[in-house]
A and B are shown apart, each in its own frame.
Chain A
Amino acid sequence: MSDTAIHARGQSLPARGSGAVWLAAFGGLLIVAMLVSLGLGRLSIPLPTVAAIVGHLALPVPESWTVLEERVVLLVREPRVLLAALSGAGLAMCGAALQGIFRNPLVSPQILGISPGAAFGGALAILLGHAGVVLIGSSFVFGVAALVTVGLIARIDGRTETATIVLAGIIVGALFSALVSLLQFVADPDSSLPAIVGWLMGSFASATWPRLALAAPAILIGVIGLFFLRFRVNVLSLGDDEARSFGVSVERDRWIFFILVALTTGAVVSVAGVIGWVGLVVPHAARLLVGEDHRILVPASGLLGGAYLVTVDTISRTATAAEIPLSVLTAIIGAPVFAILLRHSWRKEHAR
């Protein structure tokens, strides 16, 4: 057959440049964003000095900076910048993977109830007067508990369908959001209430090397796991029944993704509060540039998400005398960007 096959209508993939070029560009962007962030703040340090301070950890660079500069860069700003980069990468990769396996562009880590669950856990810890490890542990445990609840609700007759998972996530998320409001209602308006509100709005201000060491392993497991599973997203994105017939155990695979997402999101929320929009917007922006193939899209989202959150965090701590909460900034930047992306991609999709 096929000599009369319907002729191709000039539909080949648009030349987007190779994926490796985009990944290198996003990687460069991330490094620049981190170096700039290390130099900016109350004590402004020129970029070459920052690069030299960071570089001398591995390379023999002659010392040409003050002790104060080194302490500010390595002890104060470095853990914060690393945590912002890791968190941004983790949230964006979670969003990219979830949007792929749900075949739904509106899914983000928040939709599975993980963020609201973790928020409740953290708020509860603050209300009970805890901070540090207890806060992190509590928000992480409740984030995972929210996910498990979603899974139990959505599992009907031994099968979990995509739609029931999303709806169960909304249900559980709404429940935990209400519980967070309840905690705020009963919190002491002079002490714990502002602490809860401040924490919920998201900030890396409390980042230190020990806190980074607490959160980084969980986030790294998520980031590395999602990176290696990136082609699996392609497989799962093409329909549950087909994948199942091809010998994929769809439920098991999906739970592996959920656990990685819960690890990453729970860890981020526990050290930095609830940071919205990154997991939703960054994958869309990356998709517009590198295309839909998750082999490129997942790592590209990670690099871009890291660069984005480092930049947002830099703005949040340098724009005004007081720190602007992260969620406020990610939403103020994210909402209009998302609106533009939406119109752009919709027009492109429907103009052919």
Chain B
Amino acid sequence: MTTLTGAGVRFGSRWIFRNLDLHAPVGRSLAILGPNGRGKTTLLRSLLGFQPLTEGQRDAPSVIGYVPQYASHEVGYSVRQVVATGRVAQRGLFAQPTAGDMEAADDALARVGMVGFAENRFDWLSGGERQLVLLARAIATGATTLVLDEPASALDLRNQDRFLAVVDSLREDGDHAILFTTHLPQHAAAVADDALLLYGPEDRLLGPVEDTVTEDAIARLYGIPVRIVDCDLPGGARPARGVIPLFGQAGSQA
């Protein structure tokens, strides 16, 4: 559980955000949406504790499972070993992974559907696979809060689907507070319970996705009109929600 109270960050004379109250309880998933340069990354870094707050309070566990936007590390360890580093990290300087750590790593890999890759070299995986492995590593830390930085933005449609399905299953398990930034409102609609829309330093909208990921709110956020379309799926519990940006219509009231 991670909480920001009256939080604000200022760079020079410019407030990135201010008077922000944010509460991320275990069992819920929060999407953070905003145009480029509106402070998504700064907010994420504040949540992680990397960015000191200019004012306000941060209350967070000492261990958070952070998944970066890209897995840029070119390391030739096995996937299982990469995941095991998440287990060993907080256990002290001289800690070596035990057989138990390796089992826990396999469990975490199973949760993201990558258990068959445990013996593969990490640097030879595709971008989507690496992202899932890093998510498994974050899970393996045992952290109750997972923070994902635009986790699926760089992935193709199939891999977006895989990643979102994993996030959705984690949400249903209810063991984690999940926070993620995204450029794609549809991802928020698919796997978030709540959404935070960053309009400006003190202008924002926070609430359940049904109330926040709406045509009006998203159009106002990005400055281009959108249509929200629900597709009923045979046998599906709830319709699949599509958020369609109307490219070329920026500024119009379509």
Contact = CB atoms under 8 A, between A and B. Distances in A.
A67 interface: no
A238 B66 contact: no
Contacts of A245: 48-50, 63-66, 143, 147
Most B-side CB within 10 Å, residue of A8, A235, A352: A235
Contact of A13 (B68, B78, B169): B78
Contact of B66 (A242, A291, A292): A242
Given A5-B113, A246-B66, A228 B89 contact: no
A238 B85 contact: yes
Interface in B78-128: 78, 81-82, 85-86, 88-90, 93-97, 113-114, 116-117, 119-121, 124-126, 128
B134 interface: yes
A12 B118 CA distance: 9
A1 B166 contact: yes
Interface string B164-176: 0110010000000
B77 interface: yes
B162 A1 contact: yes
Contacts of B97: 231
Interface in A72-121: 103
Interface string A288-324: 0001110100000000000000000000000000000
B162 A234 contact: no
Nearest to A246: B89
A68 interface: no
Most chain B beta carbons < 10 A, residue from A237, A245, A246, A256: A245
Interface in A313-352: 352
Contact of A256 (B64, B93, B125): B93
A241 B128 CA distance: 20
Nearest to A294: B77
Contacts of A352: 124
Interface residues of B, number: 51
A234 B66 contact: no
A253 B93 contact: yes
Contact of A246 (B86, B117, B121, B166): B86
From A11, A12, A228, residue with most partner B Cβ within 10 Å: A11
Contacts of A243: 89
A244 B50 contact: yes
A3 to B, nearest CB: 9
A60 B62 CA distance: 58
Given A11-B125, A246-B65, A246-B86, A237 B96 contact: no
B68 A234 contact: no
A12 B122 CA distance: 9
A91 to B, nearest CB: 22
A39 to B, nearest CB: 38
Contacts of B82: 238
Interface string B121-154: 1001110110000100110010100010000000
A234 B77 contact: yes
A232 B89 CA distance: 8
Contacts of A217: none
A243 B68 CA distance: 11
A239 interface: yes
B49 to A, nearest CB: 8
Given A1-B166, A228-B94, A248 B73 contact: no
Contact of B128 (A6, A11, A231): A6
B117 to A, nearest CB: 6
B75 interface: yes
Nearest to B96: A231
A68 B204 CA distance: 87
A2 interface: yes
A140 B231 CA distance: 71
B229 to A, nearest CB: 24
A13 B90 contact: no
Contacts of A292: 75-77
Interface-centre pick from A232, A234, A242 (highest chain B CB count, 10 A): A242
A13 B123 CA distance: 11
Interface in A1-53: 1-2, 5-6, 8, 11-13
Contacts of B119: 12-13
B75 A237 contact: yes
A237 B73 CA distance: 8
A5 B129 CA distance: 9
B140 to A, nearest CB: 9
A229 interface: yes
A293 B96 CA distance: 12
Contacts of B75: 103, 234, 237-238, 292
B64 A1 contact: no
A231 B81 CA distance: 10
A1 B167 CA distance: 11
A247 interface: yes
B90 A248 contact: yes
A238 B62 contact: no
Given A11-B121, A239-B68, A247 B78 contact: no
Given A5-B113, A6-B126, A245-B63, 19 more contacts: A1-B169, A2-B113, A5-B162, A8-B116, A8-B120, A12-B119, A103-B73, A103-B75, A229-B94, A231-B88, A232-B93, A234-B77, A238-B73, A241-B50, A242-B66, A242-B134, A243-B89, A245-B143, A246-B64
5 contacts: A13-B78, A13-B119, A13-B121, A246-B89, A247-B90
